[in-house]
Amino acid sequence: MSALIVLLIYVAIFVGSFFLVKLAVQSATNDFTSLKTVTFGDESAVRPNRIASVVSIVSIFVLWGAFTGSSLLPGFLHAPGPFIGDATFTYTAEADGQAADDATVTVRVFEVGTDAEEPTVEAGDGWAKNDAATIGAWRSGLIRVDKNDEFGRKEGHRIVAVNGEAIAPGGAVETEFGRVGMSQKGTLNFVPNKGWQMEPIWLPAPEAVVSRIGSIAAEGYRGSTLWEHLGYSLFRVVVGFFFGALVGIPLGYAMGLSNWFRGWFDPIVEFMRPVPPLALIPLVIIWAGIGETGKIILLFLAALWIMAIAARSGVSGVAISKVHAAYSLGASKTQIMRHVIVPNSLPEIFTGARVAMGVCWGTVVAAELVAAEQGAGMMIMVASKFQNTDIVIMGIVLIGIIGFGIDILMRMAEKALVPWKGKI
Amino acid sequence: MSGLSIENLSMRFDLPNGSSVQALQDVSLQLAEGELLSVLGPSGCGKTTLLNIVAGFLAPTDGQLVLNGHRVSGPDAERGMVFQKGALFEWMSVRDNVSFGPRMAGKREAEWGEEVDHLLEIVGLQDFKEKAIYELSGGMQQRVALARCLANHPDVILMDEPLGALDALTREKMQSLVLKLWKETGKTIILITHSVEEALLLGERLLVMAPRPGRIHKEYRLPFADLGVGQDLREVKKHPEFAERREEILGMIWDMEEEIMGRSEESA
C-alpha cells in the first residue's frame, strides 16, 4: 500500500518538476545544439537536463527521509508516522446470567527499543474491569481483557462490542488509534495505526545508515574492519581480473591470428561465454573450497572469456589496409603485432576490460554472499540474517560506489591510453 | 633488367556456391623505371586486384611478377602502397607515421630524422609533426600517407585511389603534389583511379581495363603528365587533345558499363 503511495508521489514530483522547471527556466544559451529544431529522434541533440538530475537525486533522499521519519527532514515533510502514545477503547462484555458491562482498555504504544511501563488505570465500576497493556509501534498484541474481570471465561465471559460496535470472533473494529480484532477464541488483538512510514527494520532512515557507516568504519564488523571487508572484495576482483586478462588477451590475439587457435578455442569460448559466472560458484566451491583460491578462480573465469573475446574482436577490428600498409613498409610480424595490432585493439580491450570489471565486481559480491569470511557481500549477507537492514543498505551503497569508481578509473585510463577512440 | 614486368597474370576466385570469378585474365605489362602508369576502368575490372597482386597481398593463380630482375612474392618494402584512406596509424604522431618504415628497419633517428622532416616540408606538414592523425583533415592525412611511403624509399609506389575520398579542390592540389613528387623522386608509380581526368592528368601511360574477365582493353601514352609538372593543371585540361582523349575514354567506359548492364539484364 505505502509502496504505491511512494510511487504516486514520485511520479507526481517527476511530472510536477518538469512543468515547474519548464516554466521557470528559460534556456539562455544559443549554442549549436540548442538551436536544433529536430530533437525528437536526434539522439545527439538530447542532453541530460541537470536540473532534472538534481531534483531526481534530492527527491529520492527526501522520499527516503519522509517515509522513515528522518530527523534530517523538517517534521512537516514526514509521512504520517505510526501511532505512539496511549490508545483507549472500550469493550462490552457479557457473561452467563450477568448484564452487559463496559470497561476501558488503555494501551501504551511505545517506540520499539525504548522502555515502556504499563499505564496505571483504575479498575472502574461494574463487573468488567478496566485493562492496561503495552504494544510496540508497528507491532500488535493480544489483550486478555477477561483476566481481571469478575466473571471469567469459565462463567461464559464473552465480548460483544468494541466502542459500541458489535464484534464477533474473526471480526474487527476500526478505532481512532488502530484496529481491534478478535481471534477465533474470542481474545482481542490490538493493532495500532502503522501510518505510512517504514519501520526501521524494513528501511532505516538515511542518518541511521550514515551513522552505521561511521560506527562500522570505526569498530569493524564480524572481526574485520570495514576497509578489510571492502579491501578483500577489491583484492579478489583485481587479482582475478589480472589473471583473466593475462591469459585472456593473449588467447584472444592467438584466436584472431591463427586458424589453429581459432578452431581449437572457438567452441570452448563460445560455450563458456553464455555461462553466467554465478553458475560456476557451486563447482568452484566443490573444487577449491570457500577460501581465496576459489574466489580468485571464479573471477579469473569470469574475466577470461570476456577478455579473450574482446582481444579477438580487437584483432578483427584492425583495418586490413593498416596491416597491408605496415607490411609494405617492411615491418616484420613481430613489429606488426607490437606497432599495429596491439595498439589498434586497445579500444576493444578497454571496452572488454570495463565489462569484465563490472562482471567481476558483481560476481565477487555474489560469491561472498554464498560463503566468505570477509568481504562486502559477506557483510550484507550476515547483516540480513540479523535483520540489520541499515548494514545491508550501507553495504549496497558502498558496493555501488566502488563499482562506479572502478568504471570511472577505467574510463580515465582509456581516455589517457586510447585518445583516438571513436575518432577514426 | 630494371623496371617492373607483369607477365601473363591471371586471377580466378572460387566462390562458395561452386562458381568462380575470373578477376584477371592474362594481363601482361612492362613498366620502365620512373614511369607513371594510371589504371582506369569500370568497377569490377580487376584493377584493385591487379594492384594487390603487385603489392604482394594476393598470390595470382597464374603468371608472375618480376621487379628489377627478381620474382616478387609477398609484400615488401620495395613496393610501397598508398591507400584511399584509413591506413595511417592513429596511435602515432604524424612524424612517427612518416618515419615508420625506417624505424621498423632498425634505423636510428640520426639516419632518417632530417629526411623525414624534409618530406614533411615538401607535403606542407612541417607545422603538424607532433599532431595526432585524427586531428588532421582528409587531404592532410593523404599527404602524410604519401610522405610515409616516400620515406621508405620504395622502388615502386602503388596508389589505390589515393585521392578518391577528397573534395574537388583538395584533389586538384594533391594531383599537382603527386606530379611534383614523381618528377623529384623519379619513382615508378602505378595509380588506380575512378576519375578519367585524374588518369589523364597524372598518367604518363594510361591503361584502360575491361571487366569480366578483367583484362587490358587499351593503352595510351600521354603528354599531360609532363606538361602538368610546374604548370597549373587547369591549363593542361584546356589542351584540345585532353578533351578529345577524355571523351574517347569516357565513351569507352560507358560502352563497357552498358554491356555489363545488358548482360545482367539478360541473366535476370
Spell out which residues of chain A touch residue B134, defining contact as CB-CB under 8 Å: 420, 423-424
Residue type, A333: K
B93 with B192, same domain? no
Spell out which residues of chain B touch residue A343, defining contact as CB-CB under 8 Å: 89, 91
A157 with A302, same domain? no
d(CA A314, CA B134): 19
A346 with A362, same domain? yes
B97 with B113, same domain? yes
A211 CA: distance to closest CA in chain B (Å) = 49
Burial class (CB in 10 A: 0-12, 13-18, 19+), B226: middle
Spell out which residues of chain B touch residue A347, defining contact as CB-CB under 8 Å: none
B69 with B96, same domain? no
Q: Which three cell numbers stand for residue A414?
A: 582509456
* Domain total in chain A: 3
The secondary structure of residue A338, as a DSSP letter, is: I
Region A308-330: mean pLDDT is 91
- Segment A56-82, tens digit of pLDDT: 999 999 999 998 888 888 888 888 888
B71 with B18, same domain? yes
A39 CA: distance to closest CA in chain B (Å) = 28
Specify the pLDDT at position A402. Answer: 92
Beta bridge partners of A92: A102, A161
Look up cell 448484564; give the residue. Answer: A99
Specify the pLDDT at position A27. Answer: 67
CB atoms within 10 A of CB A279: 9
d(CA A144, CA A182): 11
* Domain total in chain B: 2
Bridge-based pairing of strands A141-143 and A158-162 is unpaired
Q: Which three cell numbers stand for residue A367?
A: 560469491
On average, the pLDDT of chain B sits at: 85
Question: Quick one: pLDDT band at residue A1, thresholds 50, 70, 90?
Answer: low
Residue A381 in domain = yes
B138 with B192, same domain? no
User: Which residue among B57, B105, B158 places its CB closest to the CB of A330?
Assistant: B105
Residue B39 in domain = yes
A351 with A293, same domain? yes
B39 pLDDT more than 80? yes
Sign of the Cα pseudo-torsion (A123, A124, A129, A134, in order): negative
User: Which of A63, A69, A64 lies closest to A84 in space, CA to CA?
Assistant: A69
User: Which of B6, B41, B31 lies closest to B199 in space, CA to CA?
Assistant: B41
d(CA A192, CA A135): 8
User: Measured between CB atoms, does B95 come within 8 Å of chain A?
Assistant: no
Residue A316 in domain = yes
Specify the pLDDT at position A28. Answer: 66
d(CA A424, CA B134): 6
- What are residue A105's phi and psi, to 5 degrees? -110, 130
Q: Would the CB atoms of B104 and A330 count as touching at under 8 Å? A: yes
B82 close to B151: Cβ distance less than 8 angstroms: no
B38 with B111, same domain? no
Residue A61 lies in domain = 2-77
A131 with A188, same domain? yes
B160 with B260, same domain? yes
- Segment B181-227, tens digit of pLDDT: 888 888 889 999 888 888 888 888 888 888 878 888 888 887 777 77
Spell out which residues of chain A touch residue B101, defining contact as CB-CB under 8 Å: 329-330
User: Which residue among B55, B77, B134 places its CB closest to the CB of A330?
Assistant: B77
ipTM of the complex: 0.89
A397 with A301, same domain? yes
List C-alpha distances in Å: A388 to A51, A200, A367.
Answer: 35, 9, 20
Residue A259 in domain = yes
User: Which residue among B81, B104, B154 places its CB closest to the CB of A324?
Assistant: B81
A52 close to A17: Cβ distance less than 8 angstroms: yes
Q: Would the CB atoms of B80 and A344 count as touching at under 8 Å? A: no
CATH code for the domain of B238: 3.40.50.300
B39 with B67, same domain? yes
Residue A201 in domain = no
User: Which of B263, B249, B255, B209 lies closest to B9 in space, CA to CA?
Assistant: B209
Range with the largest mean pLDDT of A88-92, A149-153, A289-293: A88-92
A188 with A211, same domain? no
Q: Would the CB atoms of A330 and B148 count as touching at under 8 Å? A: no
Residue B178 in domain = no
Q: Would the CB atoms of B83 and A327 count as touching at under 8 Å? A: no
Specify the pLDDT at position A392. Answer: 92
User: Which of B93, B94, B104, B108 lies closest to B152 in space, CA to CA?
Assistant: B104
d(CA A141, CA A137): 10
Spell out which residues of chain B touch residue A325, defining contact as CB-CB under 8 Å: 81, 83, 87-88, 148
d(CA B109, CA B97): 13
B191 with B267, same domain? yes
d(CA A342, CA A347): 10
Q: Would the CB atoms of A324 and B77 count as touching at under 8 Å? A: no
Interface with chain B: mutation pick from A328, A338, A346, A418, highest number of B CBs within 10 Å: A328
User: Which of A177, A315, A171 lies closest to A255 in space, CA to CA?
Assistant: A315
A213 with A290, same domain? yes
B6 pLDDT more than 80? yes
Task: Tell whether omega for the bond before B213 is within 30 degrees of 0, i.e. cis.
Answer: yes
- Segment A188-210, tens digit of pLDDT: 999 999 888 888 888 899 999 99
Residue type, B78: E
Spell out which residues of chain B touch residue A340, defining contact as CB-CB under 8 Å: 89
Interface with chain A: mutation pick from B53, B83, B119, highest number of A CBs within 10 Å: B83
A73 with A90, same domain? no
- What are residue A184's phi and psi, to 5 degrees? -60, -25
Residue B147 lies in domain = 85-153
> In Å, how far from its chain's centre is CA A202?
12
A343 CA: distance to closest CA in chain B (Å) = 7
Which contiguous run of DSSP H or E holds residue B184? Answer: helix B168-185
B101 close to B78: Cβ distance less than 8 angstroms: no
B1 with B68, same domain? yes
d(CA B1, CA A410): 58
B253 with B205, same domain? yes
A112 with A242, same domain? no
A368 with A296, same domain? yes
Residue B174 in domain = no
Q: Which of the listed residues A163, A192, A221 is the one where a domain comes to its end?
A: A192
Which residue in chain A is spatially nearest to B77 when comparing CA positions? A330
User: Which of A75, A84, A65, A66 lies closest to A138 in space, CA to CA?
Assistant: A84
Specify the pLDDT at position B244. Answer: 84
Residue A198 in domain = no
A231 with A152, same domain? no
Lowest mean pLDDT: which of A31-35, A331-335, B109-113? A31-35
User: Which residue among B56, B81, B105 places its CB closest to the CB of A325?
Assistant: B81
Residue B255 in domain = yes
Bridge-based pairing of strands A188-192 and A178-182 is antiparallel
A137 with A58, same domain? no
What pTM did the predictor assign? 0.80
Spell out which residues of chain A touch residue B55, defining contact as CB-CB under 8 Å: 324, 328
Specify the pLDDT at position B266. Answer: 65
Question: Quick one: pLDDT band at residue B7, thresholds 50, 70, 90?
Answer: confident
- Segment A297-310, tens digit of pLDDT: 999 999 999 999 99
Residue A211 in domain = yes
User: Measured between CB atoms, does B139 come within 8 Å of chain A?
Assistant: no
B161 with B241, same domain? yes
User: Which of B99, B64, B97 lies closest to B83 in space, CA to CA?
Assistant: B97
Question: Quick one: pLDDT band at residue A356, thresholds 50, 70, 90?
Answer: very high
d(CA A54, CA A57): 5
